[in-house]
Chain A
Amino acid sequence: MATTAEPAAQVSESAFREDVRAFIQSNFPPELKGTSNALASVESGAGESEPQRQWREAMGSRGWGTPTWPAEYGGGGLSRREAAILQEELAKAGAYNPIQGMGVMMFGPTLLEYGSEAQKKEHIPPICRGEIRWCQGYSEPNAGSDLANLQTSAVDKGDHYLVNGQKTWTSGGQWADKCFCLVRTDRADKHKGISFLLIDMDAPGVEVRPIRMISGMSPFCETFFTDVKVPKANLVGEEGQGWTIGKRLLQHERTNLSGGNAMGRLGGPTLGELAKMYRETDEHGQLADRVLRDRIADFEIRWAAFLLTARKAAEESKAQGGVSEISSVLKKAGTKLGQERAELSIEIMGLQGLGWEGEGFTAAELAGVRTWLFGKATTIYGGSTEIQNNIIAKRVLGMLDHQ
């Protein structure tokens, strides 16, 4: 995360809180209360309503969508405490942060750390205003878990690089304006031959094909680069520094995919509540199917323990001023539980929980099916569970590589 800039004037906490309240009062369109368009507007092709646009622009003008980023690049320049106050007040008002997406989550923090002054001035402000969609050009057909095996090449042509190759699993690639990309600038060295390059998605030679997934949705694309000219100014860091920069970015990704953020989306009824809607109860109002009841309780207890683990990891990281070692288990544990929850939900609902489309199903039932299917991706992307296990074993537990 970016360094915290000092606010221009020493404003007391309560004065800041008043300022936030007044801002929300005069800028947050009341009809948006309790909704969240954040993900839809940034990571899908869904358009923006007029009130949504107004709210995004208002937050963007203050830099409050990226509250702790430096004000000189369009961020809010707030202290952590002030950012927390902002978040509290937004929650109280039923308002969401409209500035989201990969630019905010992963690319921005990485560029603030490794980018040149000119790159920060060019790329950070549009992220802070929520005007730009970034996508991630990492995986390739033969570079998944073995990411460093990537082959997309960038050849030095004097004032530009000539890029050729194929990326895959490009989330939101069909809607993105720009792509942060790992490319090969040297074939002789697996890791040191990788560079971090920024590519315009509308540049000649870039072609995007959405991939239809088992969920019926197409959130990922194949991206083809054929003789794409990329200005040298778009190289982040030094040539050959891409692996270091790229890994740093993945740390931001992992933090966001684990614990709170990804799992916070679960929402809805607890499994116990869901079961009471779909299954018979006995004279005490308890589930008549005692085996199912036992399994739901088993899940809910492990889920509660996971939420406690995520909270503890955050508290420890804060207290130690570094990343707590238990953070390493959150992605693997949270995604596994999310999948278990979806499977149990379907078991509770029976065939009523497997509706694909059309009549006879509620919107929640139909959405549940897509969530169940899409959820299979969570233990694969962002470093599969197996890769997470390797990381835990080697880096946290100090178990050695096979000789």
Chain B
Amino acid sequence: MAVLNDEQAMLRDMAREWAANESPFTAWRALRDAETGAGFDADAWQAMSGMGWAGIMVPEEHGGSDFGWMSAGLVVEELGKVLAASPIIGVTIAAWAIAQGDSDEAKARHLPALASGETIAALAVDEGPRHAPGKIGAKVENGKLTGSKGFVADAAEAGIFIVAATDGLWLVEKGEGVSVAGRVLADRRSHGEVVFDAAPATRLGDAAMAEQMLDRARILTACEMLGMAQHLFDTTLDYLKQRVQFNQVLATFQALQHRMADLFAEIASMRAAVEGGLEALDSRRRVPQAACIAKARANDVLNLMSREAIQLHGGIGMTDEYPVGDYLKRARVLENRWGSSAFLRDRFAGLAGY
């Protein structure tokens, strides 16, 4: 755990307590099993926004707290632990993009509504099943955006989209020229195919800013993954200490002890990489490299942890009743979002010049 200041420690404790009491795993399960197609519980998001979590990256003059990336990351990690469904990553990143962007009108119009939880934002970058920011076809002509975006998280609920086009970042409001078709993925959250047909767009920034936004999305997504990996590790360790076979609790077997020691070391590496990413964002030092390190480690360690969690739980881990499977399914969706490890290694090597 990073060494935190008082404000950050308070925020993390608040998030931890709220997640445990108000949004335990059973809350996600109730949402999933209601089969309304909703990606998150609207009342829960209002409660989170009420605690200031939607406005962590919104400047104070626009109704946010401007607490910084470490604070945002701590909250996202705690939500990841309980698999709490929320649009917090899209909203936080969108708020950053709008606040950094060229349009004062967009700031005044959208930032307070994002901070209050009233408006949901979604990031619309990739156009196919893989992260490929170098292959964007969406175009803007005369202020009208045309193109289609695939697997956009919370597309159905979003009021605004931050859209990557060939010449940079744009903001599009849902309405004229925007249509959304749902896509149900294994994680059962809300995703959608979004088609923009000459939709009115507001310019936020150039292609370099789009890159910066993606680095932020990578790091914040890695925070959710860190929470998930930590939870899977903790719950697996608890299980090994309880389950008895051959008249022994499983935790006494050295074959399992050494696997857990390996996983413990991997999660320590993941945590250092993810927190290093947040620190890089707050200090604005070597952010592109830090984003590759954070997300690549998050991808690889969560992938391993989610497989090991199932194996170490045995048959019970395969049942729908048990939570482990939900983490596994969510893990793969997040691993593919904003860059697989192969994509990130390519980017990291390119940045290092080899």
Task: Check B297–A319 contact: CB distance below 8 A.
Answer: no
* A-B CB pair tally, cutoff 8 Å: 134
Task: Check A316–B3 contact: CB distance below 8 A.
Answer: yes
Task: Check B254–A402 contact: CB distance below 8 A.
Answer: yes
Interface string of A11-23 (1 = CB under 8 A from B): 0000000000000
Number of interface residues of B (CB under 8 A): 45
Task: Check A294–B269 contact: CB distance below 8 A.
Answer: no
Kindly state whether residue B136 has any CB partner on chain A within 8 Å. no
Question: Known: A309-B269, A316-B3. Is A301-B297 also a contact (CB below 8 A)?
Answer: yes
Interface residues of B in 9-62 (CB under 8 A from A): none
Task: Check B252–A302 contact: CB distance below 8 A.
Answer: no
Least Cβ–Cβ distance between B296 and chain A, in angstroms: 5
Task: Check B297–A302 contact: CB distance below 8 A.
Answer: yes
Write out the residue numbers on chain B whose beta carbons fall within 8 Å of the beta carbon of A394. Answer: 257
Interface residues of A in 314-354 (CB under 8 A from B): 315-316, 319, 326, 329, 332-333
Interface residues of B in 255-292 (CB under 8 A from A): 256-258, 260-262, 264-265, 268-273, 275-276, 289, 292
Question: Known: A399-B257, A402-B254. Is A300-B264 also a contact (CB below 8 A)?
Answer: no
Write out the residue numbers on chain B whose beta carbons fall within 8 Å of the beta carbon of A301. Answer: 273, 292-293, 296-297, 344-345, 348
- A interface, over-half SS: helix
Write out the residue numbers on chain B whose beta carbons fall within 8 Å of the beta carbon of A333. Answer: 265, 268-269
Task: Check B354–A402 contact: CB distance below 8 A.
Answer: no
Kindly state whether residue A215 has any CB partner on chain B within 8 Å. no
**Cβ-neighbour of B3 out of A296, A304, A319, A398 (below 8 A):** A319
Question: Known: A275-B354, A286-B354. Is A306-B3 also a contact (CB below 8 A)?
Answer: no
Interface residues of A in 372-403 (CB under 8 A from B): 386, 388-390, 392-394, 396-403
Write out the residue numbers on chain B whose beta carbons fall within 8 Å of the beta carbon of A329. Answer: 264-265, 268-269
- With most chain A CB atoms within 10 A of its CB, the pick from B265, B268, B269, B296 is B268
Task: Check B354–A399 contact: CB distance below 8 A.
Answer: no
Question: Known: A305-B270, A402-B252. Is A298-B345 also a contact (CB below 8 A)?
Answer: yes
Least Cβ–Cβ distance between B295 and chain A, in angstroms: 10
Question: Known: A294-B345, A305-B272, A316-B3. Is A403-B248 also a contact (CB below 8 A)?
Answer: yes
Task: Check B268–A400 contact: CB distance below 8 A.
Answer: no
Kindly state whether residue A62 has any CB partner on chain B within 8 Å. no
Please measure, in the bound complex, the distance between the C-alpha atom of A293 and the C-alpha atom of B347, giving whole angstroms: 11
Write out the residue numbers on chain B whose beta carbons fall within 8 Å of the beta carbon of A246. Answer: none
In the complex, the chain B residue whose C-beta lies closest to that of A298 is: B345
Number of interface residues of A (CB under 8 A): 45
Write out the residue numbers on chain B whose beta carbons fall within 8 Å of the beta carbon of A388. Answer: 261
Write out the residue numbers on chain B whose beta carbons fall within 8 Å of the beta carbon of A300. Answer: 348-349, 352
In the complex, the chain A residue whose C-beta lies closest to that of B4 is: A319
Task: Check B269–A305 contact: CB distance below 8 A.
Answer: yes
Kindly state whether residue A297 has any CB partner on chain B within 8 Å. yes
Least Cβ–Cβ distance between A367 and chain B, in angstroms: 22
Kindly state whether residue B237 has any CB partner on chain A within 8 Å. yes
Write out the residue numbers on chain B whose beta carbons fall within 8 Å of the beta carbon of A392. Answer: 260-261, 264-265
**Cβ-neighbour of A296 out of B248, B252, B262, B354 (below 8 A):** B354
Task: Check A393–B258 contact: CB distance below 8 A.
Answer: yes
Interface residues of B in 221-274 (CB under 8 A from A): 237, 240-241, 247-249, 251-254, 256-258, 260-262, 264-265, 268-273
Please measure, in the bound complex, the distance between the C-alpha atom of A121 and the C-alpha atom of B300, giving whole angstroms: 53
- With most chain A CB atoms within 10 A of its CB, the pick from B254, B257, B292 is B257
Write out the residue numbers on chain A whose beta carbons fall within 8 Å of the beta carbon of B256. Answer: 399
Task: Check A402–B268 contact: CB distance below 8 A.
Answer: no
- Residues of chain B at the chain A interface (Cβ within 8 Å): 1-3, 237, 240-241, 247-249, 251-254, 256-258, 260-262, 264-265, 268-273, 275-276, 289, 292-293, 296-297, 341-342, 344-346, 348-350, 352-354
7 contacts between A and B (CB under 8 A): A302-B297, A305-B297, A308-B272, A333-B268, A396-B264, A397-B260, A400-B251
Assuming A294-B345, A312-B271, what are 20 further A-B pairs, CB within 8 angstroms? A276-B353, A286-B349, A286-B350, A293-B346, A294-B349, A298-B296, A301-B292, A301-B345, A305-B293, A305-B297, A332-B265, A333-B268, A389-B258, A390-B254, A390-B261, A393-B261, A397-B264, A398-B241, A399-B241, A399-B260
